[in-house]
């Protein structure tokens, strides 16, 4: 029986790259808020199945995971990045960021723990360099990624039959990154960033690590060009 992997935020960018990387060896469930957003990647990966749900709607998530009795890999890739200084950032932005980047991850993981335990599964958290250090203007996002790292650390201790890997990439050449650079007043140059494919290969490397090894953290930085 082929292992099953669920990837959130899989409609484009890094999530789609991870889906392509895992497709040869896994049955895929691909997550996005709306199924329409998944049409391109589902057309490309014909055997994959959609997992359309708003991850911040906890009742909808609980309904969506019913019937998943065994899950080998859970890749948490979905998230948001609203930038701003502490002085500029409202409580609503802080709440929305923590809800999307931490609470939704914790709840989906909690609901899928029986399926993950049944498979001796692997949880992969797509974190960030901002989960290791915070820079000016990145407070809410960095706080959420520090919290995500803590979630992974706690889960690793609490669930010894599972593997939990935090991936901390530097900036990745995606549409989200283009929006961030524009918000910073810069000019987007994809050559200055990691490719989604490079990070996706790191995810697969973690998953493919032999069972006697536990890859707890992977840190990637783009090479200056």
Q: Which residues are catalytic?
A: 141
DSSP state of 137: T
Helix (H, G, I), strand (E, B) or coil at 102: helix
Distance CA 151, CA 145 (A): 10
Q: Pick the closest to residue 193 from 185, 205, 181 (CA basis).
A: 181
Torsion over CA: 57, 49, 11, 152 (sign): positive
C-alpha atoms less than 13 angstroms from C-alpha of 218 in its C-beta half-sphere:
21
Bridge partners, 126 (sequence order): 167
Tell me which H or E stretch contains 109: helix 104-119
């Amino acid at each position: 029986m082929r292992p099953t992997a669920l990837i959130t935020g899989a409609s484009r960018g890094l999530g789609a790259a991870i889906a392509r990387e895992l497709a040869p060896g896994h049955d895929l469930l691909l997550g996005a808020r709306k199924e329409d957003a998944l049409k391109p990647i589902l057309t490309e990966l014909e055997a994959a199945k959609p997992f359309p749900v708003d991850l911040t709607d906890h009742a909808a998530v609980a309904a969506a995971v019913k019937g998943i009795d065994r899950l080998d890999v859970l890749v948490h890739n979905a998230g948001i990045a609203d930038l701003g200084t502490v002085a500029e950032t409202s409580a609503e932005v802080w709440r929305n960021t923590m809800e999307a980047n931490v609470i939704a991850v914790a709840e989906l993981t909690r609901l899928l723990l029986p399926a993950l335990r049944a498979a001796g599964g692997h949880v992969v958290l797509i974190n960030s360099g901002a989960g290791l250090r915070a820079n000016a203007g990145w407070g809410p996002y960095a706080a959420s990624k520090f919290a995500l790292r803590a979630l992974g650390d706690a889960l690793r201790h609490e669930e010894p039959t599972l593997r939990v890997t935090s991936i901390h990439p530097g900036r990745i050449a995606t549409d989200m990154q283009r929006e961030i650079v524009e918000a910073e007043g810069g000019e987007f140059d994809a050559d200055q960033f990691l490719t989604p494919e490079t990070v996706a290969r790191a995810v697969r490397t973690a998953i493919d690590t032999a069972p006697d090894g536990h890859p707890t953290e992977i840190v990637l930085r783009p090479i200056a060009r």
